[in-house]
């Protein structure tokens, strides 16, 4: 096997604060069935380590062109910092803790519908918009041309026919359990190292789509076209013994690009497995002041707690500028609308106002696919497959899925678990609370005290979770802190417990035990906890 090109080849020295590129020998094992000859150890990972404190550009990153903000008064700012202060004692819940999304909290329902409710503070006159948005989220698209005008344009390559097929019941996806299980709700993102730099984004790590397979592996295609490949996954079980003797089995996935239709992918292909995340509370996360997220960043770990936290900065196609990334598992999108638009294009092959390409994700090398019939006609649906109104309605829907109320928050075991979570450093990343912006035209998200348990920052999670595929300035070991609100309800909503970016964890304890890197100390503390305290920690997670 030839040695992969060194990372520094892709890091031309620049005057800006430049990252140190390290090579990690570790890697996600990448196998391509039928061609075992190349790249058994993935792309030697490209790691970016900031060498200078991030100060110069942060004023730019605070820009929030997606929001119509009423600035906070001084008096409000004072009240907010008092409300956001961490608790000093744990014998009773804090005020408002039971309503994690403030007035956008819905009552808990013990069924599969728990994530599908609209925010109760949504004005009545917008209920119809929510319902139409829901219909677009569930709509099954078909190939063009079709008599079903208004729903055609799917593909030619796609991963799913509807948003809802991946975000199952507005909850999350899962990995295929066996060769015959559905792989619809999980996907592989693809890239190869190197490509044009983005000088506007410090520490940007250049990557390009695979020259043939593009930025995402589509494992489905319309009749007459070849699906690109099949996502293969095999498992190895690894036991972890906890203090007191309990053994938890982790399953470590190995991914493969099986049956590639157009020959072997690039030899340095980087692949990132992802399952669709839960859809609740997203509008509130979009309305958290960027300045408050940036204030939590500590890229050089100046407080010495072992936890750094870096803001993701991405290029926004919607606003044509760098912005704070918030959505996606490496926070690769700045807004919900942009995330939805890229899903229409990449996951379903549908052109839309932000990405007006009817051929979807077909690469230049896939000429027949680029020449396929389009679902767009002049004068119909804005000349696109998904018109502006539909994109806006599905974005509105995605912003307004309510967060269920907490359960059992005054149970002594839950309170003990909360105390442990604060004590061992879970909340250093899973930041409990924010207050959202006051917004002119979004009463549903405006000025709410929310408890999402995320800092919206990127953290190095260690080798075990690394995908070794950079995305904008996130490196191959970094992930956005997952919000923990509603996390334990996923089994109830979809019938499958599935945690972490690729759904490898089958229980909350497995999810914790995969934590490494900056979270290694917190994970080790959990292993060492007396069994009743460990139970209490899980009980707290289950109450969120």
Binding site for ligand HEC (CB under 6 A): 137, 159-160, 163, 165-167, 185, 187, 274-277, 282, 307, 327-330, 332, 336, 339-340, 343-344, 347-348, 394, 398, 421, 424-426, 428-430, 459, 461, 465, 479, 481-482, 487, 499-501, 508, 511-512, 515, 518-519, 522, 526, 537, 541
Lookup: tokens for 303: 């407080």
- Dihedral angle computed from the Cα positions of residues 275, 280, 281 and 283, in that order, rounded to the nearest 10 degrees: 70
Task: Tell me how far, at minimum, the Cβ of 211 lies from ligand HEC, in Å.
Answer: 21
Candidates 449, 479, 540, 491; CA nearest to 174 is 491
Q: Which phi and psi (to 5°) does residue 469 adopt?
A: -125, 110
Residue nearer to ligand HEC on the CB measure, 11 or 496: 496
Lookup: tokens for 187: 């996907």
Residue nearer to ligand HEC on the CB measure, 11 or 461: 461
Residue nearer to ligand HEC on the CB measure, 30 or 487: 487
Between helix 127-138 and helix 388-399 the angle, nearest 10°, is: 100
Task: Decide: residue 286, CB within 10 A, 0-12 exposed, 13-18 middle, 19+ buried.
Answer: buried
Task: Tell me how far, at minimum, the Cβ of 212 lies from ligand HEC, in Å.
Answer: 20
Lookup: tokens for 277: 């995340």
Task: Tell me how far, at minimum, the Cβ of 104 lies from ligand HEC, in Å.
Answer: 16
How many CB atoms lie under 10 A from the CB of residue 26? 16
Residue nearer to ligand HEC on the CB measure, 11 or 492: 492
Task: Tell me how far, at minimum, the Cβ of 16 lies from ligand HEC, in Å.
Answer: 26
Task: Tell me how far, at minimum, the Cβ of 398 lies from ligand HEC, in Å.
Answer: 5
Residue nearer to ligand HEC on the CB measure, 11 or 474: 474
Residue nearer to ligand HEC on the CB measure, 30 or 522: 522
Residue nearer to ligand HEC on the CB measure, 11 or 187: 187
Task: Tell me how far, at minimum, the Cβ of 497 lies from ligand HEC, in Å.
Answer: 10
**∠ CA 32-28-241, rounded to 5°:** 130
Between helix 412-423 and helix 531-543 the angle, nearest 10°, is: 100
Candidates 177, 164, 165; CA nearest to 506 is 177
Q: State the SS3 of 369-412.
A: HHCCCCCCCCCCHHHCCCCHHHHHHHHHHHHCECEECCCCCCCH
Task: Tell me how far, at minimum, the Cβ of 82 lies from ligand HEC, in Å.
Answer: 25
Task: Tell me how far, at minimum, the Cβ of 3 lies from ligand HEC, in Å.
Answer: 29
Contact between 291 and 437 under an 8 Å Cβ cutoff? The reply is no
* Beta bridge partner(s), residue 230: 258
Residue nearer to ligand HEC on the CB measure, 438 or 459: 459
- Interatomic CA distance for residues 277 and 502, integer angstroms: 9
Residue nearer to ligand HEC on the CB measure, 268 or 479: 479
Task: Tell me how far, at minimum, the Cβ of 209 lies from ligand HEC, in Å.
Answer: 14
């Amino acid at each position: 096997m030839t040695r992969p090109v060194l990372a520094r080849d892709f890091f031309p020295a620049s005057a800006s604060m430049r990252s140190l590129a390290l090579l990690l020998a570790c890697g996600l094992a990448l196998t391509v069935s039928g061609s075992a000859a190349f790249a058994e150890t993935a792309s030697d990972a490209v790691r970016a380590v900031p060498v200078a404190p991030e100060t110069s550009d942060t004023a730019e990153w605070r820009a929030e062109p997606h929001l119509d903000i009423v600035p906070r008064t001084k008096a409000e700012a004072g009240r907010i910092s008092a409300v956001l202060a961490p608790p000093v004692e744990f014998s009773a819940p804090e005020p408002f803790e039971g309503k994690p999304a403030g007035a956008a909290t819905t009552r808990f329902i013990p069924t599969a519908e728990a994530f599908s409710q609209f925010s109760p503070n949504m004005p009545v006159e917008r209920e119809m918009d929510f319902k139409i948005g829901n219909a677009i989220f569930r709509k099954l698209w078909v190939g063009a041309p079709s008599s079903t005008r208004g729903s055609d344009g799917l593909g030619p390559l796609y991963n799913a026919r509807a948003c809802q097929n991946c975000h199952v019941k507005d909850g999350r996806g899962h990995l295929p359990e066996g060769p015959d299980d559905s792989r619809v709700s999980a996907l592989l993102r693809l890239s190869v190292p190197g490509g044009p730099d983005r000088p506007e984004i410090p520490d940007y790590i250049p990557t390009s789509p695979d020259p043939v397979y593009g930025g995402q592996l589509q494992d489905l295609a319309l009749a007459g076209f070849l699906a690109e490949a099949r996502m293969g996954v095999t498992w190895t079980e690894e036991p972890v013994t906890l203090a007191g003797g309990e053994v938890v089995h982790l399953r470590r996935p190995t991914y493969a690009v099986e049956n590639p239709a157009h020959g072997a992918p690039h030899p340095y292909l980087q692949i990132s497995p992802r399952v669709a995340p839960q859809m609740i509370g997203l509008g509130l996360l979009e309305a958290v002041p960027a300045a408050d997220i940036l204030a939590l960043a500590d890229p050089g770990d100046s407080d010495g707690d072992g936890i750094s936290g870096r803001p993701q900065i991405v290029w926004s196609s919607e606003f044509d500028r760098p912005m704070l990334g918030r959505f996606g598992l490496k926070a690769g999108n700045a807004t919900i609308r942009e995330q939805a638009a890229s899903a229409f294009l990449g996951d379903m092959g549908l052109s839309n106002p932000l990405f007006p390409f009817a051929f979807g994700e077909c690469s230049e090398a896939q000429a027949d696919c680029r020449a396929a019939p389009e679902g767009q006609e002049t004068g119909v649906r804005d000349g696109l497959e998904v018109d502006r109104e539909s994109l806006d309605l599905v974005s509105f829907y995605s912003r307004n899925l309510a967060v269920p109320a907490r359960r059992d928050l005054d149970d002594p075991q839950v309170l003990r678990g909360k105390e442990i979570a604060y004590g061992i450093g879970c909340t250093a990343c899973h930041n409990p609370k924010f207050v959202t912006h006051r917004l002119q035209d979004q009463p549903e998200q405006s000025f709410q005290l929310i408890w999402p348990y995320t800092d919206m920052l990127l953290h190095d999670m260690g080798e075990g979770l690394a995908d070794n595929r950079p995305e904008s300035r996130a490196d191959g070991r970094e992930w956005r802190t997952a919000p923990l609100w509603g996390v334990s309800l996923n089994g109830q909503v979809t019938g499958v417990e599935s945690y972490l970016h690729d759904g490898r964890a089958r229980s909350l304890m497995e999810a914790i035990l995969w934590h490494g890197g900056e979270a290694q100390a917190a994970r080790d503390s959990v292993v060492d906890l007396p069994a009743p305290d460990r139970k209490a920690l899980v009980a707290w997670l289950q109450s969120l």
